[in-house]
Chain A
Amino acid sequence: MNDEDLGTYQPLTYFQMMEVSLRELLVEKGVITEAEVEQAMGEIRARSPERGAKMVARAWLDPAYKARMLADGSKAAEELGFEVPGLRLIVVENTPETHNVIVCTLCSCYPRMLLGLPPDWYKSRNYRSRVVREPRAVLEEFGTKIPDGVAIRVHDSTADMRYLVLPMRPAGTESLTEDQLAALVTRDSLIGVSLPNRHR
């Protein structure tokens, strides 16, 4: 190791050490294989907010799909090939009267199968404790100003349901294709802390 390498060397953290130790022990004892771990990691990395965005774009274009999505979010996800094993997905719709935002105050429940790994702020004590009691102030910190005439509905994901926000379709997007619409749907707009990007 030369001096340059030493400059970037980081010792393993406590939890990294625990993970490596447990994984190596499980492999050594033949409970799992390295290949299975690699495969599982690959599947976790493959999940991204693009899945949720695709569902939203489809709902914007197809009223029948939107109706099915609001009736049973899990089935609507599976219809597009996204498995939602063991958990029930509830899709909550933003309207001119209501804005929805998702949190898990107890831990960090998150629709990982449709949005991938949660952002760090979603798991932070700051977000979890404040968005339930001052959602308007928290949304403003994300640059999202919700007028007082629009009711804010906070969803605390405390048990077996998972939530996805169906944002309102931005104005001026009538001519866009499904893929172009999906590109406007950000991860944060699916959690409800922001709105979809505007079409330029």
Chain B
Amino acid sequence: MTAAVAERVAARFKPGDRVRVLKAAPPGHVRTPWYIRGHSGVVERLCGDFPNPEELAYARSGKPRQPLYRVRFVQKDVWPAYAGPASDVIEIEIFQHWLEPIP
């Protein structure tokens, strides 16, 4: 018996929303850089939905497709000893299932 798999997951965030990256360490192929896990940022844009790389890596369908965001983080928040000005930022592509809302 095969359970029906949804085609895609609906986007739950919009540009400007504050989000936190999950501080998780699941096994397998993950495309959320270690250094950004647990950090908070702001959604810069929604890039669309894409096959989930964590599923693709094991030759599965990648469904349901996951919304992908570009999230902007302030460098001084990410690296405590950051030497540059407070205006420096880093932007990273992160899939929705790695993000939680900040109320």
Measuring CB to CB, which residues of chain A are less than 8 angstroms from any residue of chain B?
88, 90, 105-106, 132-137, 148-149, 151-161
B33's partner among A134, A136, A151, A156 (CB-CB below 8 A) is A156
| 11 A-B pairs (CB sep. < 8 Å) | A88-B47, A133-B82, A135-B88, A152-B84, A154-B75, A154-B91, A155-B91, A156-B93, A159-B94, A160-B50, A160-B68
B91's partner among A88, A136, A156 (CB-CB below 8 A) is A156
Q: Give me the 4 closest cross-chain CB pairs, A-B, nearest first.
A: A151-B87, A159-B93, A154-B90, A156-B92
Bound Cα distance from A172 to B88, whole angstroms: 29
Shortest distance from the beta carbon of A152 to any chain B beta carbon, whole Å? 5
Shortest distance from the beta carbon of B89 to any chain A beta carbon, whole Å? 5
Q: Decide: A136 and B83 in contact? CB cutoff 8 A.
A: yes
Measuring CB to CB, which residues of chain B are less than 8 angstroms from any residue of chain A?
31-33, 35, 47-48, 50, 53, 68, 70, 75, 78-79, 82-85, 87-95
Known: A132-B35, A133-B82, A159-B95. A154 touches B89 (CB 8 A): yes
Q: Decide: A88 and B48 in contact? CB cutoff 8 A.
A: yes
Bound Cα distance from A105 to B30, whole angstroms: 13
What residue of chain A has the Cβ atom nearest to residue B45's Cβ?
A90
What residue of chain A has the Cβ atom nearest to residue B85's Cβ?
A148
For A149, list chain B residues within 8 Å (CB): 85
Shortest distance from the beta carbon of B76 to any chain A beta carbon, whole Å? 11
Known: A88-B47, A132-B35. A158 touches B92 (CB 8 A): yes
For B35, list chain A residues within 8 Å (CB): 105, 132-133
B89's partner among A133, A153, A157 (CB-CB below 8 A) is A153
For A90, list chain B residues within 8 Å (CB): 70
What residue of chain A has the Cβ atom nearest to residue B47's Cβ?
A161
Q: Decide: B31 and A159 in contact? CB cutoff 8 A.
A: yes
Q: Decide: B84 and A157 in contact? CB cutoff 8 A.
A: no
B90's partner among A88, A106, A148, A156 (CB-CB below 8 A) is A156
For B48, list chain A residues within 8 Å (CB): 88
Q: Decide: A132 and B93 in contact? CB cutoff 8 A.
A: no
Shortest distance from the beta carbon of B84 to any chain A beta carbon, whole Å? 5
Known contacts A155-B92, A158-B32; 11 additional CB pairs below 8 A are A133-B82, A134-B84, A136-B83, A151-B85, A152-B89, A154-B89, A155-B91, A156-B92, A156-B93, A158-B93, A159-B94
